Amino acid sequence: MRLLLSTSLAALQPARTAALLLLAACCAGQAATAAAQGRPAAKPVAGSTSYATRADAMQFADEVAARRGLDRNWVRATIGAARFLPNVPRLMLPGPTGTVKNWQAYRGRFIDATRIAAGVRFWRANADTLARAEATYGVPPEIVVGIVGVETIYGRNMGNFRVIDALATLAFDFPQAHPRAADRQAFFRSELESFLSTESRTADDPLVLLGSYAGAMGMPQFMPSSIARYAVDFDGDGRIDLVNNPADVIGSVASYFKAFGWKAGMPATYPVHFDEARLRKDVLLAPDIVPSFSADSFVAAGAVPEGDGLRHKGLLALIELQNGLDAPPTYVAGTRNFYVVTRYNWSSYYAMSVLDLGQEVKAAMGLVPATSPVLPQPAQSSQPLEPLQSPQSPQSLPPLQPAAPVQLPSPQPLQPQPLQPLQPEPSPHQPTQQQPSQQREPMPLPE
């Protein structure tokens, strides 16, 4: 359902009224989109037991009502109507120990003829809006096209879980076997609070809104707090619609990337080859995906960026993408913009899929030569591969201390630029935890 700007909201913050609106994909809106695309509407996944009798859920409802100045009975009734989704906690768990990462298999899930053709149609239908978003935010069309294609195939698959069920399940029954269970459960409680806070001020029925099993909504799969902070009314029609309005989708994705420090004109990656005589891969991989090396120090450690990468003025990271047990890894040099893509989903495999899909769609439109996947580098080790884990915050990475004889300056890990989150409502009570990004788990890798 599209949310109309109300006179009361406009009076509160005239410059930010559009940003205060939360779009959640309701059944009617998704049904209309499905009909327009010639496919059946999504049937909501059925939950089991209600949270109405859960003391912890009702206590949370009372706390949210007091903190946000909401009607206590409404909050209790809404959370009480949520139902536990038995399969969702399992979906949040990382792969079992020993699971092999495989970039080429992962890439194949998102780079195919169907998705590329859909991307071409989306780009052509929205070329003017994509160009305007680039002029406004500095984010090129292929990045937006890559995100929307990987997330939902341009609106074809926006999820069939009731958002209230998904958020309640993860807020109150997050799997304790997860290595970061406490942090993730706190995150989903914050998202449930954000969802309730905004829904309390709209005409939407919070019990019929649909999204992913993690509570993400619309074509770009924004979490509730991300919609409140970064979604924009990009066509100026007085509402934000991330289900049926490509203009708002495009503007909102570009707005998100701009907020996290996207630099216009900077490539996200460069090809890289190794100088085996001085290669210090342990040093280069220590900061993970955080850009930490100047081009000179990158080369000094044995990784040589190709083309314009040798003249790159910012910091670089060595990105390793494993290709199973039978093929060597793929390597690229990642820039700050690569790191920004991972703020949408904390996975280098996801980020490379977004970048590659965008380039393939661009090539299919004849705007650039066709590209092929980056070829793996020669094998360096036969050690078993570790399972893909949730990326860490850059602040938690240990400072890099290069060892002799390579004399490298200690790199300074890239910090996401400070954000000023938009407040989703005029209440003086704000969440105790502000999440810097969507903090979504990496999409699972095929074995």
Summarised one tens digit per residue, pLDDT across range 68-116 is 999 999 999 999 999 999 999 999 998 777 778 999 999 999 999 999 9
In this predicted structure, what is the pLDDT of residue 388? 32
- Whether the predicted model's global pTM rises above the 0.95 cut: no
Amino acid identity at 168: A
How far is Cα 320 from Cα 136, in angstroms, rounded to an integer?
Answer: 33
Closest CA to 198 of 422, 23, 421: 23
Residues listed for the chain = 447
Q: Measured between alpha carbons, how far is residue 163 from residues 70, 292, 341 in Å?
A: 19, 38, 25
Q: Is the pLDDT of residue 390 over 50?
A: no
Amino acid identity at 60: F
Q: Measured between alpha carbons, how far is residue 317 from residues 240, 289, 358, 375, 417 in Å?
A: 36, 6, 21, 18, 18
Tens of pLDDT along 131-175?
A: 999 999 999 999 999 999 999 999 999 999 999 999 999 999 999
How far is Cα 43 from Cα 161, in angstroms, rounded to an integer?
Answer: 8
Q: How confident is the model at residue 45 (pLDDT cuts 50, 70, 90)?
A: confident
In this structure, what DSSP letter does residue 86 have? T
| Tokens matching residue 286 | 């220590």
Which residues are paired to 332 by β-bridges? Answer: 271, 319
Phi-psi region of 91 (alpha: psi -120 to 50; beta: other; left: phi over 0): alpha
Which residues are paired to 222 by β-bridges? Answer: 217
Tens of pLDDT along 391-407?
A: 333 333 333 333 333 34
**What are the residues whose beta carbons fall under 8 Å from the beta carbon of 367, sequence distance 6 or more?**
none
Q: H-helix or E-strand containing 278?
A: none
Question: Which one of the listed residues 134, 151, 193, 425 is annotated catalytic?
Answer: 151
Tens of pLDDT along 255-308?
A: 999 999 999 999 999 999 999 999 999 999 999 999 999 999 999 999 999 999
Dihedral of the CA atoms 54, 160, 391, 263 (nearest 10)? -130
| Tokens matching residue 358 | 């965008």
Closest CA to 313 of 337, 347, 289, 330: 337
Which residues are paired to 331 by β-bridges? Answer: 320
Q: Measured between alpha carbons, how far is residue 327 from residues 100, 169, 377, 419, 437 in Å?
A: 11, 39, 9, 41, 33
Q: Where are the domains of the chain?
A: 3-98+154-246, 269-341+373-381
Dihedral of the CA atoms 161, 163, 169, 171 (nearest 10)? 150
- What's the first-to-final CA gap in the chain, in angstroms? 38
Mean pLDDT for all residues in the chain: 80
Residue 63: how many other CB atoms lie within 10 Å: 13
In this predicted structure, what is the pLDDT of residue 393? 31
Lowest model confidence (mean pLDDT) among 164-173, 250-259, 421-430: 421-430
Task: Check whether the bond before 220 is cis (ω within 30° of 0).
Answer: no
How far is Cα 209 from Cα 35, in angstroms, rounded to an integer?
Answer: 17
Which residues are paired to 318 by β-bridges? Answer: 333
Q: Measured between alpha carbons, how far is residue 56 from residues 50, 173, 199, 309 in Å?
A: 13, 10, 21, 53
Where do the H-state alpha helices sit in 244-294?
246-259, 281-285
Dihedral of the CA atoms 54, 69, 218, 261 (nearest 10)? -120
Amino acid identity at 2: R
**What is the dotted CATH code of the domain comprising 3-98+154-246?**
1.10.8.350
Q: Is the pLDDT of residue 228 over 50?
A: yes
Instruction: Based on the residue annotation, tell me whether 306 is a catalytic residue of this protein.
Output: no
Residue 74: how many other CB atoms lie within 10 Å: 15
Angle, to 10 degrees, between the axis of helix 72-81 and the axis of helix 163-172?
90
**What are the residues whose beta carbons fall under 8 Å from the beta carbon of 153, sequence distance 6 or more?**
114, 115, 118
Q: How confident is the model at residue 37 (pLDDT cuts 50, 70, 90)?
A: low
